[in-house]
Structure 1
Amino acid sequence: MAVEPLLATRAQRAFILTISLQAIVVLTMVGITFRKVEVRVDFNQNNYKTLPCYLALFALAEVFELIMALDALRLRNIIQLIGILLFHLALIVFAAIQIHETESALLGNTNCLAHFNLVNCPGPGSLWNSVKPFLIVVPCIIAASWFIMMFWIKELYSEFGWAIFHVVGANPKMKRMYQWYQIMLCLLKFDFFFFVGVTMQLLIIVLARNSAEFGVTVAAIPVVLALLALCAVAVQREIKWLMSVSLVMMLAASSYFLYKLVRIYEPSSRETYATTRASLTIFTIVAFFLLFATFAVGLRCFADFDRGLQASKVNDVPTRPKYSQKENSAGNMTQTQGGSYYGGSALQPRISIE
């Protein structure tokens, strides 16, 4: 059975097209919102920094989702496709929360009875009324595309169902070990996005450039990114000492997210996070649980080291089988199949009755 190349089937093309079209529509809506606000407010004021961060996060999320989708199709990774569905569901929640946070940022605490203006007060012709429809459209478009993606992922599940068998064979024990390895890689990729999401919100909206916390946050970026990259190498190459270091650093990174969560609600710093408390809380909690889950799955993968899976991890991308015909000594043609269930062994010539 041949494996189709990337984007060669209708289901693969439709899946990528769905993600691409919704990304274009969503970023257009967010861009229009950003432009409408930009011409009437000063983004240097703290309470208005939510909008540039909102645009940056959605741009990052849409690009990340598209790359993850192409990567999942390239690897024939159903687990990663399911992860994308969950990620897309999180985008719906985030988009819905941003409606409330944008309203809070624009309307703020202005006493509209005493000092009415069209920028900081609701009503006909106000800035809030002009951007509200575009903000509402965003979660609706993402939700509609989520149902379409579910249909195409069901098709892709049937298409890729044999890929793990192709890589590790029919041994159920090897199959389970390989699935845990796939889950680990998938978690590391989503860890990257949520860490960047938390950091971006802190640096753009919350932290002052001259504060010690700003410096600590900037210094944490290369450390955590290096941790994720080295952990991926360790679990693939089964490097025990590197995997041990990565697991210990994951616990330290988890405590960092807990510290940030406490800072969001601590009385001494509570007001600093006022305009982004809801989204930053969700991002931080998700990042913490994802990292903790990565630690737990990492321990499971560590237990599978030196049990015969390393070769399958290093060569885990199924490719289209190549066929060649060689003439044997009897003058008959023998068909050879590479990269198939038969591991490149020769198939017997077809017998015909004349």
Structure 2
Amino acid sequence: MFEISPLLLAEWQFFGSLGFLSVFVAVLFSSAWLLLFLKLAWHKTGQDAWIGVYRYWVRVFALAMVVSVAVTIPLMIQAGTLWPALLMKIAGVAGPLACLAVLLAFVCKLIFFNGMLYRQGKMKEKWHTASVLMSALGVTGIVYLMLALQSWMNAPQGTIKTESNIVVHDWLAIVFHHEIAWRLILVFAGSSLCLGFMMMGVSAWQVLRRPLNQAENLTFRIGLVMALYGMAGFVLQVLFAQDTLFVPFAANGWRKVWWGGILLLGIMLLVLTLLCYYLLGKKRDIGKMPVFLQKWCSLMTFSGCLLVLLTGALSYFRNLPFIVYKEIALQEVFRYLSTQTLVLSSLAYLVVYLLIAVSFRQMFYQAARYGVVPVRKTMGAAA
């Protein structure tokens, strides 16, 4: 009879949760900078289409933020129940980075997110735009701190391993790790493709049901540009940083994941090529493109999210059987639980994540179907 070891189940449970979180962090990261771009473009041009796009995608940002916070809770529970010894061993590195990230998240939520999400139309436009800027910088800072921890776990430097834990002797080597730049490019590429295909997909879904307004046509064009930048970033990663970031292509059991990612990336590239051909070569907007291409775009709305999951798996599992490369093995820090317990808990987490994903999709299309309520303008206030 085929049996799965408890350690393997624990790995897939924990890293599966981490991958699910990565999808919404990617949406959060890219949408934060998208909102800043939209606000600045609206200030420069004065065209209502820019602020119309903003009003829809600020809701996506808020949804991604709520889901990211919610998914962090089961992830912390898993870290404490499955790998309790790990937290003790790497507390010297992970503790300060995690505390700083939590503090930054608290400050951003208390001050800047509240201003961006709830004070629109009630404060001067320059202060509202400043809130959007600080929100984007805050999200980027949190992502940077988590990437610093991941980079250190992938290639430890600036630390000394003792019998009981790991001691930091050079914080600069951790905070400015040589892998962080590549990981930032990977986050940029994944989040750009993720949000870019969401923007194109929702516009294609709308055009199949009714004519688009100016803001919705603009959404499609912005999404196409974002996806092209993301595609360029992924190609750059595969060509120059494959050995640094991902499981080797020749690794046993990972070729199918590699080929799945390559196939998905190829389909996405084909869609982008056809869209560029009709949009730039034929001078057609999304409403005048062939119906098969509109349906194709609509079906691929969340393909960028799937790509983030695949590349996340190739990245998170790179160091197996180590959790900290050549320093701490997963077997050392695993708290043994029965296979039955791990199967039941994994199914419970799967149900929770499916409900979250379905709810997010439902609310995502709710605004696309009925539109968003314009924010009431007050004299001298932001739009």
Classify the TM-score, shorter chain: 0.3 to 0.5
More helix as a share of residues: 2
Please report the TM-score for the alignment, with normalisation by the length of structure 1: 0.39
Please report the TM-score for the alignment, with normalisation by the length of structure 2: 0.37
Higher relative contact order, chain-length normalized (CA < 8 Å, sep 6+)? 2
